[in-house]
Chain A
Amino acid sequence: MTKIRFFSRKEKRLIEKIASHPQETENYLRLGKLYFLNSDYPKASQAYERGLKVAPRNKSLLFNYAVTREAQQDLEGAKELFLEILSIDPNDEAAQKHLDQITDF
């Protein structure tokens, strides 16, 4: 019960923060992660998509969104996002590792 209440409070606070400071990408990221940890992948994806409208080349948003797509078994979508990260930073090891895991060789 405490856990659910904590989740709701945190969710509400982040939604309010996003409404008052829509340009701050960190809040989209936090909200996405909150949903991700609760296995609510569609809502996590929505949060990341909104964040990416503000900062389309934000690596952290792209990475967390990609892992969420992976969780949803949308491997093609995840692959595109990991490739986008690598186009921004070719040395991103975490993105490369994930990409290798979901790509047939």
Chain B
Amino acid sequence: MKQFVVIGAGRFGSAVAVTLAQKGKQVMVIDQDEQTVQRMSEIVTQAIQLDVTDPRSLADLDLGEMDVAVIGIGGNLEASILTTMQLKEMGVKIVVAKAKTNADKKILSRIGADRIVFPERDMGIRVANSLVSPTIFDYIQVSPGFGIVETRVPDAIQGQTLTEANIRSRFGIDIVAIRRRAPQLDKKGESQLKDTMLIAPRADEILGKNDILVIIGEEGKIEKFKSL
């Protein structure tokens, strides 16, 4: 099983750690705040109190076995840089660092960060997209002008198969997956929704009213598809 370490458990770091833990992953959290460590220790595999702005303190931990390290130190670029370098030297396979500006990104990628995220900018884009398009539940920009979105099945193609809807030819976008929420009753007889994800759905898959489509394509073409 993949092992993750999250360094700095502010809003970003703790959201990453909690989500990974909820998905059953082994997660270690390192933060300098005692209360944060206490709170996280109830959620993740291991939580350690350390001054994360002092990368020397990390040297005592054996983090080389970690598959992924997420650096969530906010507002301290110097600490992020030193921590990234140290984690790469330790042998961590993938280091994810947080940046605020493009200049931060350049520096972090030069010193070995494998992936750089802009949490505020990315979330801003996602929120704006969801506000402009209420039928879109999530949006990830793959590259400028090109994204992956989750959206409802437009009325016009509900009940059709993927072949009948002919989405690629008509709209120039691709259906990556269909998220289907099947209604059922649990052991107590209460309503529940069971999520099933049909990855690379078959051509004869019928598009249901309550399905969520995961589509990839140019933003303009996605807009056109949504307005069907």
Contact = CB atoms under 8 A, between A and B. Distances in A.
Interface of A: 32-33, 36-39, 41, 60, 63-64, 67-68, 70-73, 94, 105
28 contacts: A33-B189, A33-B191, A36-B183, A36-B191, A37-B183, A37-B184, A38-B183, A39-B183, A39-B209, A39-B210, A41-B210, A60-B190, A63-B190, A63-B191, A64-B190, A64-B191, A67-B190, A67-B192, A67-B193, A68-B191, A70-B193, A71-B181, A71-B210, A72-B210, A73-B152, A73-B210, A105-B15, A105-B18
Contacts of A32: 191
Interface residues of B, number: 16
Interface of B: 15, 18, 137, 152, 181, 183-185, 189-193, 208-210
B185 A37 contact: yes
> Could you tell me the dominant secondary structure of chain A's interface residues?
helix
A4 to B, nearest CB: 17
Given A33-B185, A67-B190, 9 more contacts: A32-B191, A33-B191, A36-B183, A37-B185, A41-B210, A63-B191, A71-B181, A71-B193, A73-B152
